[in-house]
Amino acid sequence: MLIKELATFLESIAPLCYQEDYDNSGLLVGSPEIEITSALISLDCTEEVVDEAISRGCNLVISHHPIVFKGLKNLTGSNNVERVVIKAIKHEIALYAIHTNFDNVLNGVNSKICEIIGLKNCNILHSKRNLLKKLVTYVPLSHAEHLRTELFNAGAGNIGNYSECSFNVDGNGTYLAGENASPYLGNKGLRHVEKETRIEVILPDYKEQQVLAALHQAHPYEEVAFDLYSLANNFSEVGSGMIGNLEHEMSETDFLNHIKLIFKCAVIKHTSLLNKKIKRVAVCGGSGGFLLQKAITAGADIFITSDLKYHEFFEAEKKIIIADIGHFESEQFTQELLQESISKKFPKFALHLTKQNTNPIKYLI
């Protein structure tokens, strides 16, 4: 398989346009045309991980965190980032990162955390806006079903757990074909009235090109009438953090011990216990402090995340428990999630999980 084929798949589950502005996901080192021998998956791309790729004969490292984040001005090997990139290039190893675009999708980093904890009925905690479009078009009744199907196949008409969503209403379209026209129906120079269906479908922004291509392909008219406009709706499938419910409520201490065990935390930093049962749980892999108010508003009993600063703990205000479980600890299962997703699509593809624990933080207990 070529790198570009794997990248296309990864970007279908986590489109690059869903990454945060500051991020640098995608192919960082190497040509998309290279044939992959086998790939190594890791949360971080460190020198040790690149060494492991070399020794295991992998020519691609897929990491969650991008090694090149703020840009590179020199390649002299004076710091860890430069050394990793130099080593990768020297040994013809490509580097691919799937970072905040994987945090921000429904079946990404946070859904894996929810699955590990055992949360049910999970939703994105803070969904993004302005990522959806509406397409409205008008088509002769005879072609309406075919056109609808093609629009759905191109990625339109998905709302939450529902697919093939459209709104349809029949009416009369009129047109007068000019001298140079080749009308599919009616005659030149005469106003034609045709029974048409007005079809409305919703689509994610980034699928605009493929949906419009399908529209033009499946519509019989020479000139296709359509309206395409941006929606201000929240997109429930894209955004940060996630919230869900435990099947059975737990005491605060039992729940924290459960988290400590499953995430293999040496320590959990948390705010005062509130002497309440834990039922509703908000999570955000990595640095999630910015979502605290969202977690409170959504009625979470506890917010599991990492990288909180001292003063941020005060903001719990006895409304919620904040549990900082560590950045690496919170996102460690992203590796397994990547492996599962890729193997499901490409069962024969050689994939390995790194043997390195890349967590730069050690604990003195």
Binding site for Zn ion (CB under 5 A): 286, 331
**Least Å distance between CB 203 and Zn ion?**
30
By C-beta, is 210 or 359 nearer to Zn ion?
359
DSSP three-state, residue 212: helix
User: From the CB of 211, what's the least distance to Zn ion, in Å?
Assistant: 33
Radius of gyration of the chain measured on its C-alpha atoms: 25
Q: Which residues contact 73 (CB under 8 A, 6 or more apart)?
A: none
Cβ atoms 282, 119 nearer than 8 A: no
Measuring CA to CA, how many Å separate 20 from each of 103, 105, 177, 361?
A: 10, 12, 48, 25
Shortest CB 286 distance to Zn ion, Å: 3
**52/331 with CB nearer Zn ion:** 331
**Nearest-approach distance from CB 150 to Zn ion, in angstroms:** 39
Nearer to Zn ion, 204 or 288 (CB): 288
What is the nearest approach in angstroms of Zn ion to the Cβ of residue 327?
6
Residue with tokens 């790194």: 354
CB 87 to Zn ion: min, Å: 22
End-to-end C-alpha distance for the chain, whole angstroms: 46
Pick between residue 138 and residue 328 the one whose CB is nearest to Zn ion. Answer: 328
Nearest to Zn ion of 133, 327 (CB atom): 327
Smallest gap from residue 323 Cβ to Zn ion (A):
17
Degrees, nearest 5: CA angle 155-6-360: 115
What secondary structure letter does DSSP report for 154?
A: T
Question: What is the spatial distance between Cα 98 and Cα 317, in angstroms, rounded to a whole number?
Answer: 35
Nearer to Zn ion, 30 or 326 (CB): 326
Q: What residues contact 362, with CB distance under 8 A and at least 6 apart?
A: none
Helix (H) or strand (E) holding 148: helix 141-153
Longest C-alpha distance within the chain, in Å? 87
Tokens 């924290």, located at residue: 256
Smallest distance from Zn ion to CB 364, Å:
23
- Residue 324 or 331 having the CB closest to Zn ion: 331
How are strands ordered across the β-sheet holding 226-231? 167-176, 191-204, 132-140, 226-231
Query: How far apart are alpha carbons 145 and 15 in whole angstroms?
Result: 29
Residue, CB closest to Zn ion: 286
Q: Which of residues 97 and 238 has its CB atom nearest to Zn ion in the complex?
A: 97
Alpha carbons 78 and 319: distance in angstroms, whole number:
46
